[in-house]
Amino acid sequence: MLKTHKTSRPDLSQIINLHDLEPIAKKVLTPKAYAYYSSAADQEFCKNRNISDWSLIHLRPRILRNVKSLINLQIKILGFNSNLPFFIAPVALANLIHKDGEKALVKVAAKIGVIYIMSSNASCTPEEISSIIEPNQILFYQLYVNKDRNETVKLLKRVERLRFKAIVLTVDAPVPGKRTRDERFAVNDESNLQSNSVAKNLSGYQDESLNWNDLSWLKNQTNLPIILKGIQTPEDFIYAHSIGFKNLYISNHGGRQIDDVSSTIEILLEIKKTCIKAFNECEVLLDGGIRDGSAVLKALALGVKAVGLGRAPMYGLMWGQEGVEKVLEIVKDELSINLRLLGETSVNGLKAEHVRIIFFFFFLILSNHNTELYQVEVLMMVCLLYVGQHSSIGEVV
């Protein structure tokens, strides 16, 4: 439950972009809440790469294109209308930040017209959320398969009855990652010397034995479409596509599972390089490091249908419903401005020609996928770092 904040929040008008949020969260949230939401696996390299690697994709603006007409940011996700090309990704225990928790997130999603994905580890029940859903609102439900499969079947029937429209099956977390800061808080929590990290407390019911063969069983338990969340390699993307999954969600769990994995934008580029046919036949979602409207544009230009916002809306909860709304409006405004500056007025007109992939990632796309590639990638990154520090070159392409 929410505890007293250590320090007062600044006025919401002072929040200019999403990068403003985490430093404030560190001061305002309880140590337990901040450790849980901000932490990632081990040294948190992956979490940081998720954010920084978007800067390796440059936008290519076209000029004199007449962008006076109204901006169109609307898309469809699984055939459902969304006013914006992003959604609120599943994050657990929202009441660690605000007493209204997930209910505030749902209300903002309805007001703005975006999809909300409810976490299996939410701080309220699906019934409580269903009771406040607007008539035409679209909600998905994120699922971890329970060790007791009967419990999973019961849950699927509940959420189907409660008007959720799709199941988002998380497949990248058979066990919790080693979240060092979260664990360190648990060790130093003098109020409960026996406490585990929040992540470990949440994960005890998950089925570590879940495998590809179980997916046909899962499909038979629900009439809802299933999205596989946690795709991180072309091999798994291709196999998922081959067994009939056409809704695939690229995610590395916000860097919270394995630290030494690629950023989601690098995963996206590798998948497009390796299996473009399967990619074009799927509806692809992505999350990881989205901190501004430019990152949204880049993902859409590279073929992603919509992106997920996780930590940012949660930090917005420091101000309750109004704060979450502010977070989404910031991204919407950045998206609208940069879309026009690109020479477009509709997100549906975005294509690969709207982005430039700088040398390191460009090399990844053109190279064959073999053992030597990884050695050369390291050399390329070293070269980029050297050029960035020792040259007057403005842009490496």
- Binding-site members for glyoxylate are 36, 144, 179, 253, 256
Type of residue at 70: L
Q: Which of 253, 354, 369, 390 is catalytic?
A: 253
CA atoms within 13 A on the CB side of 393: 13
**Cβ neighbours, 10 Å, residue 75:** 18
Nearest to 287, CA basis, from 272, 306, 269: 306
Q: List residues forming the annotated binding site.
A: 36, 90-92, 119, 142, 144, 170, 179, 229, 251, 253, 256, 287-291, 310-311
Contacts of 194 (CB under 8 A, 6+ apart): none
Q: List residues forming the annotated binding site for FMN.
A: 90-92, 119, 142, 170, 229, 251, 287-291, 310-311
Q: Is 253 a catalytic residue?
A: yes
Asked whether the beta carbons of 65 and 344 are under 8 A apart, the reply is: yes
3-state SS assignment for residue 343: coil
Separation of alpha carbons 347 and 54, rounded Å? 18
Separation of alpha carbons 281 and 357, rounded Å? 23
**Cβ neighbours, 10 Å, residue 38:** 20
What element of type H or E holds 110? helix 101-112
- 């971890």: which residue's tokens? 144
3-state SS assignment for residue 293: helix
Pairing between β-strand 283-287 and β-strand 247-250 as defined by DSSP bridges: parallel
DSSP notation for 249-288: EE--GGGTS-SSS--HHHHHHHHHHH-HHHHHTSEEEEES
Separation of alpha carbons 238 and 234, rounded Å? 6
Nearest to 118, CA basis, from 150, 83, 153, 155: 155
List the catalytic residues: 253
